[in-house]
Amino acid sequence: MKATLCIDDAVGEYRRALLDSDGKPFRLEIERWNERGHRAKLDEIRWGRAKARTPGNRGWFVDLGAGPDGILETRAVVVEGALLGVRVKSEAWSDKGPVLSMADMPASVARPDKPGLHGKPTEDPFVIGLEIVETVSGANARERIDAAMEEATQRVIVLPGGGDIALDQTRGLTVVDVDSGARIGEADPESFALNLNIAAAAEAARQISLRGIGGLLAIDFVGMQQPRNRRSVVDTFRKTLAGYLRRASEVLDMSTLGVCEAAVARRARPLAAGLNAPRAEREALDALRMLETAGWNARGSRLHARLSVEASNWLEANASVWNDPLASRIGTRWTIESEQRPPGQPKVWSV
């Protein structure tokens, strides 16, 4: 599959997005500067210390030296307190630690005295299996990533030709509901439902990939009478999802009630987890990116930012991290003001 890679290394936060051949985003990655080196990342090889057995004695909790304890799935004999070579199969999300497997470590490899990183992935998991035809950075990439982030946080997505899908996540399940809305189509109800569901299946697959959704899914399609039509819709969803994720998922046949169930293996952390910073920090990082963008667009102008008191305090406490990098990019020409309000959206302008 061919894709365009967008990279936005803003002050305080690094973001990437992948766009398909139609220019639509289908994968997003976000990492704050203060997270670097403090969490176990996909496909890393790490040294971890076995701490305790998991409930049911099906594995071990492992201290990785970064982030929450991982869960090692193994039937091998493990001694409590032993230092093990492990690979990160899936990143931490919500209140769940990363999932691990045993790494194939040669006996000649020197063992460290504490948990930590042994080696980074040989291939970048974000782009593995894709043909990157173009890499975009700077203002163009930032604009595209901002649009992708906005789309990925919307509950309802409008379909081409009308109708929409709504995505709702619960603790154990993601539900996608298909609605015809004001869609105009064929007079034949079966053909109308088929075309709507085909569009919904393709869009649902892209949104699941874009948001990094994993685990159990249930898609409530508009009902159809013909089994061959139900199979056609499921095939569209299965193939499109595999194309975006670059791996197969377990997708069951559609029931007579129009529900398709699926299980998507978790790999990289969900976008929602990447955005799950304290509100004051989130506002402060957005303000830094907006200041940088304003600096690009208004060269030589004085820049102003107005933030909540909490966000302003966060910037002040972390000035040693962001001040010099921002100054090197746009010059020291900004003023930050604070106001008494809950953390939210900063306001940035130039004079």
Rounded distance between C-alpha atoms, residue 131 and residue 99, angstroms? 28
Beta strands in the chain (DSSP E): 2-10, 13-19, 25-32, 45-53, 59-63, 70-73, 83-90, 99-102, 116-119, 131-136, 156-158, 164-169, 174-179, 215-220, 250-251, 259-264, 303-308, 334-339, 347-350
pLDDT digit string, tens, across residues 92-128: 988 889 999 999 888 889 889 999 999 999 999 999 9
Spatial CB neighbours of 66, under 8 Å, sequence gap ≥ 6: 37, 38, 39, 40, 46, 115, 116, 117
Q: What is the mean pLDDT of the chain?
A: 95
73 pLDDT more than 90: no
164 pLDDT more than 90: yes
- 261: helix, coil or strand? strand
pLDDT (0 to 100) of residue 3: 98
Read off the pLDDT of each residue in 218-229 and give the average, rounded to a whole number: 96
pLDDT (0 to 100) of residue 107: 81
186 pLDDT more than 80: no
pLDDT (0 to 100) of residue 75: 83
| 142 compared with 96, residue with greater pLDDT | 142
pLDDT (0 to 100) of residue 85: 95
pLDDT digit string, tens, across residues 279-304: 999 999 999 999 999 999 999 899 99
Confidence of residue 35 (pLDDT cuts 50, 70, 90): very high
pLDDT (0 to 100) of residue 187: 80
For the chain, domains (ranges, CATH) are 1-37+131-150 (no CATH), 45-119 (2.40.50.140), 153-272 (3.30.950), 277-350 (3.40.1260.20)
